[in-house]
Amino acid sequence: MGFAVVIAFLALFMLGFPVVYAILLPSIAYVVIEGLPLGLLAQRVTYALDSFPLVAVPLFIFVGNLMNLSGITDRIFRFAYTLVGRVPGGLAQVNVFGSLVFSGMSGAALADIGGLGRIEIDAMKKRGFDASFAGAVTGASATLGPIFPPSIPLIVYGSVTSVSIVQLLVAGIVPAIVCTALLMLTVLVVATIHKHPRADRWPTLWEVGRDFLPALPAVVAPALMIAGMTAGAFTPTEAAAITTVYVILISALLYRELTLDHLWNSAVLTARSSSAILIIVAAAALFGWILAVEQVPQSFAAALLGLSRDPVMLLVIANLIFFVAGMFLDSTTATLLLVPIIAPPLVLAGVDPVQLGIVTIFNLMLGLLTPPMGLSLFLVADIAKVSIRQLLKALLPFYIPLLTTLAILTFAKDLTLWLPRMIAQ
């Protein structure tokens, strides 16, 4: 019966049903057919949302929205342009570097694109960059947000697997920096070949200091957050709440640009985004419970371990599964549906759960840039006013550093794990 539920989900999804309905309808049918009490539906859905770590999700979404509306995003962009605008590629380099800085506050790829990305694409087009190239750089650099702390997808992953969220967030720091370096190197090569514009001169120390000071509160926030969590001063959820208060205070008292309209609009946007995520969390929890009752994960684990017991080979197989899933499902849905099935046999075979978390989330972020369901593709194409075909053509060089990063995370686990291990000592 469990596999029938899975097949029903896939059939409804392929027929174009919204993913929530594709998950819920087979689950409800299972409860009715099996003669289980209908109150079980409400119990499993409510239980899924009764999670302290998940409180961090709407808080970080609120932070990202507030930064976009209160001027913090503009200050990050100005500082990034002053610092790296003279490097070959100019604003394209700013795009990548700015995404790393912004991700330290928002924790979401789409927040990066919708906030800082909108500013960057407009600025690049005004400076003579091709619109499709500007969109490609923006989409590629937005993959940094979900692996650099704070990270909403890593928080969801941690809540599903019971892996330490602090360890996951810390583990994302080095991979994000490596990916940033590879993306900036790619921009440098492409910009040199095509002679893209850049800043006329290198900045003076005074100019760097002038633009660094207004951006400093945003730049230091991730460091303060990580330091507090690793020291045990607060949990990731408490860190999200502290970050929210921090952003409100610097926006109101330091920058003096926060208004009641900003707060209200940020709250409305957050309610919409959070409800979309949390309703999937609730539906997926019911679906996952049914699969657990029918022992589908155990059957899948036996089949997977029958293929190989080598941790690296199993991680490669998992990569293929997540890569394909990312083409069709958003990261939250894929995490909630697939991770409880795939993670146990991999961990049993010796794959580190923290490494698996980073590999999984980064892999699913690549799905945001792959058709047919890549949300980043559609959002970037809309902002840049280009077709998906044009955007994909411009994205081709950037798949190289992104896939290289994924390979490094898969085969060089110490790159991911050395920092969490060092902090844990």
**What is the predicted pLDDT for the residue at 129?**
82
174 vs 172: CA distance, rounded Å: 6
Residue tagged 């926006």 (tokens):
251
Cis peptide before 18 (omega within 30 of 0): no
Q: With left for phi above 0 and alpha for psi between -120 and 50, is residue 107 left, alpha or beta?
A: left
Q: What pLDDT does residue 55 have?
A: 80
Query: At which residue do the structure tokens 């940094």 appear?
Result: 144
DSSP characters over 164-176: -HHHHHHHTHHHH
pLDDT of residue 424: 63
Q: What pLDDT does residue 15 have?
A: 82
Return the biggest CA–CA distance within the chain: 74
From the list 88, 301, 278, the residue with the least C-alpha distance to 202 is: 88
Reported as a single tens digit per residue, the pLDDT across 322-360 is: 888 887 777 777 888 888 888 888 888 888 999 999 999
Which of 167, 310, 8 minimizes the C-alpha distance to 318?
310
Whole-angstrom distance, CA of residue 310 vs CA of residue 133: 40
Q: How confident is the model at residue 108 (pLDDT cuts 50, 70, 90)?
A: low
On whether the CB atoms of residues 100 and 182 are closer than 8 A, the answer is no
**CA–CA distance, 96 with 227 (Å, rounded to integer):** 25
Give the whole-angstrom CA distance, residue 132 versus residue 365: 20
Q: Which amino acid, residue 180? A: T
Asked if 283 and 48 touch (Cβ cutoff 8 Å), the reply is: no
C-alpha dist (Å) from residue 38 to 28, 30, 195, 298: 8, 11, 65, 26
Q: Which residues contact 185 (CB under 8 A, 6 or more apart)?
A: 401
Which segments of 71-201 are extended strands (E)? Answer: none
What is the 8-class DSSP label of residue 54? Answer: G
Which residues neighbour 193 within 8 Å (Cβ) at sequence distance 6 or greater? none
Contact status, residue 406 vs residue 319, Cβ threshold 8 Å: yes
CA distance 381 to 389: 9
CA distance 160 to 39: 23
pLDDT surpassing 70 at residue 361: yes
Report residue 114's pLDDT band, with 50, 70 and 90 as the boundaries. low
pLDDT in tens, 20-39: 888 888 888 888 888 888 78
User: What is this structure's pTM?
Assistant: 0.81
Residue 298 near residue 61, CB atoms below 8 Å: no
pLDDT per residue as tens digits for the range 190-220? 888 877 777 777 888 888 888 888 888 777 7
